[in-house]
Amino acid sequence: MPGHALLFHSVWDDPDAWRRALAARFPGIELRVWPDVGDRQDIAYAFVENLPAGELAKLPNLKAILSPGAGVDHLFRDPALPRHIPMVKVVQERMTRGIVQYVVLHVLRHHRHMPAYQAQQRECLWQELKQPGAWDRRVGVMGLGTLGRASVKALADLGFQVAGWSRTRKRIKGVETFAGAGEFAAFLGRSEILVCLLALTPETAGIVNARTIAMLPAGASFVNLARGRHVVEADLLAALDSGHLSHATLDVFNQEPLPPASRFWSHPRVTVTPHRAGNSDRLAIIDQMLDAVERLESGRTLRHSVNARHGY
Ligand code: NDP
């Protein structure tokens, strides 16, 4: 029967764990783990991350591409991506909550000078640092999608002066919003703590670079939990070395796992976490994908679909 199997590939995850979870939730579907594709005509759904370029275009009966994560830049890196096929990304309350917790934790940590106090503790140094109130602290979040919007709301609830920047104009109560390239400099110029929650596209790759970092107020700090490729890492290190940036908290990197030789590991102004800001749950992701498959099979509108024109 053509179109009855699901192709799985991820460089991060254990295929056997997915196989067990899929079997529990998707009893009717046959799982093929790339590169053991078998007859390509059988593949109806591709549940894939970082599949080698050109592979999806070889599947003649493909009905949908399911991304096991919220970011879909891995799909758009493929020049032969069949853009007419519906694509679905992960949108989950549990993931959103995990991201919001990470943002709040690290914005508060920067706001309350925790990296500096930890350094002072190592020197047995009892010294107060000037502490502004949250209402005097300007936090800026790049990206106001599912995760950025939830984050700015939580930060505004804590009393921060919050701004958000996105491609298209947004209106969010208690949040100053900026849109498009023309308003980026003004957004950066007021952001003492900058958080990146952008989608990674050709327009946003390398958006945190020497020129844009220089627009941030002196002593600003940076939290990146979107994608490593948003950042020109050498420029970020130079800004941390010079002290223009006081601290960076990084969950994502150009190369993951972060190589042992990376200066980020030992830099005194850097906090590294291993791409775990979002708190994804395998069975919940599969349930979302099952819902997508059921919707497609019954001709209903897909939820959380990717816009192929925008690339996210
Ligand atoms: P969404 O697709 O919902 O939102 C993306 C946001 O980026 C939108 O607000 C969009 O603007 C904005 N954007 C895209 N292009 C531009 C541009 N050229 N200029 C300005 N803004 C732009 O993404 P999510 O909220 O789901 O995810 C955000 C990021 O978080 C992704 O990079 C994802 O990979 C990452 N992520 C990281 C995790 C981790 O564990 N570290 C876990 C989950 C996600 P507009 O609203 O106008 O369209």
Q: How far apart are CA 252 and CA 269, in angstroms?
A: 16
The stretches in the chain having pLDDT less than 70 are 1-2
- Asked if residues 236 and 266 have their Cβ atoms less than 8 Å apart, the reply is no
Predicted confidence at residue 270, as pLDDT, reads 98
Predicted confidence at residue 2, as pLDDT, reads 63
Active site residue 304: no
Predicted confidence at residue 1, as pLDDT, reads 56
| Nearest-CA residue for atom 8 of ligand 1 | 145
Work out the end-to-end distance of the chain between its first and last CA atoms, rounded to an integer number of angstroms.
33
Give the pTM. Answer: 0.96
| Nearest-CA residue for atom 35 of ligand 1 | 226
What's the gap in Å between 99 CA and the centre of ligand 1? 12
What's the gap in Å between 137 CA and the centre of ligand 1? 24
Active site residue 113: no
DSSP string, 212-277: HHHTSPTTEEEEE-S-GGGB-HHHHHHHHHHTSEEEEEES--SSSSPPTT-TTTT-TTEEE--S-S
Q: Which atom of ligand 1 is nearest to the CA of 198?
A: 7
Query: Which of 74, 93, 167 is the best mutation target for the ligand 1 pocket, counting ligand atoms within 8 Å of the beta carbon and taking the most?
Result: 167
| Nearest-CA residue for atom 22 of ligand 1 | 167
Predicted confidence at residue 273, as pLDDT, reads 98
Kind and range of the H or E run holding 194: strand 193-196
Predicted confidence at residue 280, as pLDDT, reads 82
| Nearest-CA residue for atom 33 of ligand 1 | 71
Condensed to tens digits (0 to 9), the pLDDT of residues 38-68 reads: 999 999 999 999 999 999 999 999 999 999 9
Q: How far apart are CA 190 and CA 175, in angstroms?
A: 13
